């Protein structure tokens, strides 16, 4: 109990310091869609029906029922969720074999990264915090061998962001017997776990109307893949700005990193899928 209280205190102090150094609040492009969806759910307002944002319903629809101003509700929700994510991440890292010191360092990098706590202070109306929590919950459930938690993570992911699909092969690769390419029992379990969330993912796209009738994921992917190559230098710079210290630490231990990824094919697959989503999805 004492250790957990120290962890909670460290997270709260860290987030307070990050708030002090992040005084500016900005409401950008996609915030307009999520703000509108939270206020009106589905309506004649084009901002509530612009794909692909209109399918990412979990956070804005949940906050619709919170009796606060939309911006305030998003800000409080994302800060609380970031703190919960940091707390859960500590136990994910210890369950994965890390020491308390290593897990604490992982939490430090998580909180100090621009895309987590500081982003929530700077750009409060967003859904990324929900997705980060879902990711941590999904990986933690794998180490805990808890299929129910993993199913919940997939279900929330289907309601939050398209990138949850990358978690499905992760489950198979994590669970399958080492040395076997095809593990029929684990493959069947993967299909059963993923069927419901994928069905809901597709159903949302069939039932929710969209204002931009010309939208397609194929065109979306082509647009962002062009942007990836046109602005590749800027993207690399942004990732160095966000993850710079971690990237250099990994590069300094490159042989160990390569060996680790070879032993953990599920993580290699997930990182490659993240790279693919970066190229074709812009995130």
**pLDDT tens readout for residues 25-65:** 777 788 899 999 999 887 778 888 888 999 999 999 999 99
Q: Residue 281 and residue 69: Cα distance in Å, rounded?
A: 30
Q: Residue 188 and residue 59: Cα distance in Å, rounded?
A: 31
Helical segments of 2-99, H only: 2-20, 29-40, 58-64, 70-95
Q: What does the DSSP 8-state code read for residue 47?
A: G
Q: What does the DSSP 8-state code read for residue 177?
A: P
Compute the half-sphere exposure of residue 133: CA atoms within 13 Å on the CB side of its CA.
21
The pLDDT, as a whole number, for residue 230 is 75
Is the entire prediction scored with pTM above 0.85?
yes
Helical segments of 144-253, H only: 147-158, 167-175, 184-207, 217-230, 232-252
CA distances from 63 to 37, 159, 230 (A): 10, 14, 37
Smallest Cα–Cα separation from 86: which of 103, 104, 72, 107?
107
Smallest Cα–Cα separation from 42: which of 29, 55, 30?
55
What does pLDDT average to in each consecutive run of 10 residues of the chain (283 residues)?
83 88 80 91 82 93 94 93 95 93 91 82 91 96 96 97 94 88 91 97 92 81 76 71 74 86 90 81 60
Q: What does the DSSP 8-state code read for residue 160?
A: T
259-262 long-range CB contacts below 8 Å, 24 or more apart?
none
The pLDDT, as a whole number, for residue 74 is 94
The pLDDT, as a whole number, for residue 246 is 76
Provide the token pair at 90: 């500590």
The pLDDT, as a whole number, for residue 45 is 82
Residue 177's φ and ψ, nearest 5 degrees, are -65, 130
How do residues 151-182 score in pLDDT, each as one tens digit? 999 999 999 999 999 999 999 999 998 877 88
The pLDDT, as a whole number, for residue 177 is 85
For the chain, the farthest-separated pair of C-alpha atoms sits apart, in whole angstroms, at 56
Find tokens 């589905």 and name the residue. 42
Is the Cβ–Cβ distance between 190 and 168 less than 8 Å?
yes
* H-run or E-run covering 256: helix 254-263
Residue 228's φ and ψ, nearest 5 degrees, are -60, -40
Q: Residue 209 and residue 12: Cα distance in Å, rounded?
A: 41
**Angle at which helices 2-20 and 100-112 pack, to 10 degrees?**
20
Q: Residue 57 and residue 41: Cα distance in Å, rounded?
A: 8
The pLDDT, as a whole number, for residue 119 is 84
The pLDDT, as a whole number, for residue 212 is 85
Q: How many residues does the chain have?
A: 283
The pLDDT, as a whole number, for residue 281 is 65
């Amino acid at each position: 109990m004492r250790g957990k209280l120290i962890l909670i205190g460290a997270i709260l102090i860290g987030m307070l310091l990050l708030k002090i150094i992040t005084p500016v609040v900005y409401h950008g492009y996609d915030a307009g869609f999520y703000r509108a969806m939270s206020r009106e759910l589905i309506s004649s307002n084009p901002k509530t029906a612009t794909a692909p944002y209109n399918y990412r319903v979990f956070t804005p629809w949940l906050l619709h029922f919170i009796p606060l101003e939309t911006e305030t509700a998003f800000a409080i929700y994302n800060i609380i969720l970031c703190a919960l994510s940091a707390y859960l991440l500590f136990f994910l890292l210890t369950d994965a074999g890390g020491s308390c010191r290593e897990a604490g360092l992982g939490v430090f990098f998580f909180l100090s990264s621009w895309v987590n706590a500081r982003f929530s202070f700077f750009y409060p109306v967003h859904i990324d915090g929900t997705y980060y929590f879902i990711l941590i919950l999904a990986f933690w459930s794998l180490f805990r061998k808890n299929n129910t938690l993993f199913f919940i993570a997939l279900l929330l992911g289907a309601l939050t962001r398209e990138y949850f699909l990358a978690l499905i092969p992760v489950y198979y690769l994590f669970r399958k017997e080492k040395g076997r390419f095809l593990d029929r029992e684990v493959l069947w379990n993967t299909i059963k776990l993923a069927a419901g969330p994928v069905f809901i993912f597709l159903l949302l796209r069939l039932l929710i109307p969209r204002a931009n009738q010309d939208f397609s994921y194929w065109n979306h992917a082509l647009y962002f893949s062009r942007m990836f190559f046109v602005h590749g230098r800027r993207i690399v710079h942004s990732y160095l700005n966000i993850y710079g210290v971690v990237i250099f630490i990994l590069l300094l231990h490159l042989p160990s990193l390569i060996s680790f990824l070879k032993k953990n094919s599920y993580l290699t697959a997930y990182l490659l899928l993240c790279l693919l989503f970066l190229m074709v999805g812009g995130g």
